[in-house]
Structures are given as C-alpha cells and as structure tokens.
Amino acid sequence: MKWDGWKKLLPRRSWRVVEHVSAADEVPLRIPHNGAVLVGSPGHPKWLAFDCPCAKGHRILLNLELDRWPHWVVSNERTLTVRPSVHARIASRECHYIISRGRVIWVRHEEQNR
C-alpha cells in the first residue's frame, strides 16, 4: 500500500482569485491549481469559475448575481471564501464542499457512510 502522508507535509496553496475578466467567454481554458477567475467588474461580479477540487476535470461556474437564484457570495478573494456550499452533480459524480478561508472542506453524505 502506498503512503500518501507526505502530502500533508508540503505547504498548501490557498484557494484564491487569480484573475478578473469582464465576460464568461474570456475565462482561460487553464486555470491554475487552487485558482478561480472572477467574471464581471469589481463592483458587479457575475460569475466565479474554477476547476472542481475533486480533480476529475469538470469546471464549476457559480452565479454571483444576487437577483438570480441560486447565487453564491464571494467574501474574500485572497483566501477564497464562497457561501453557500457548492454541490455539483455531473453525470454519475457528486461533489459537495465548502470553500472557506482558502481551504476546501468536503461534505460527507449519509449514503457515503453506508
């Protein structure tokens, strides 16, 4: 069995906003690891785009416009905090997590505990 404990010894890079773009079609194809792209103006953010932390290759695009539902709020760009949790269901995959102070906290579900 392979020991992965060494990963805990490495410094972790916090999730953060790495770029601002004015339109969703300007989001780069490659976003740095633990990075997110804010779409819209600083005074009127529209979307937050990032690659899911599960590392299975799907992109997450969260609505930040308060007059649309559902919507999320970004409260810190340097050590990213996003509220509420992100719950992505893509094909047979389900990813549910919170991004708080630059860290991803995975949410466990009852069916996973059976």
φ, ψ of residue 6 in degrees (nearest 5): -60, -25
Q: What is the mean pLDDT of the chain?
A: 85
Q: Is a pLDDT exceeding 80 seen at residue 114?
A: no
User: What residue type is assigned to position 12 of the chain?
Assistant: R
pLDDT digits (tens, 9 = 90+) for 19-45: 999 999 999 999 999 999 999 987 899
Count of domains observed in the chain: 1
Which of 103, 94, 54, 57 minimizes the C-alpha distance to 76? 103
How sure is the predictor about 1, in pLDDT bands with cuts at 50, 70 and 90? low
Lowest mean pLDDT of 60-64, 92-96, 97-101, 103-107, name the range: 92-96
The parent domain of residue 19 ranges over 5-113
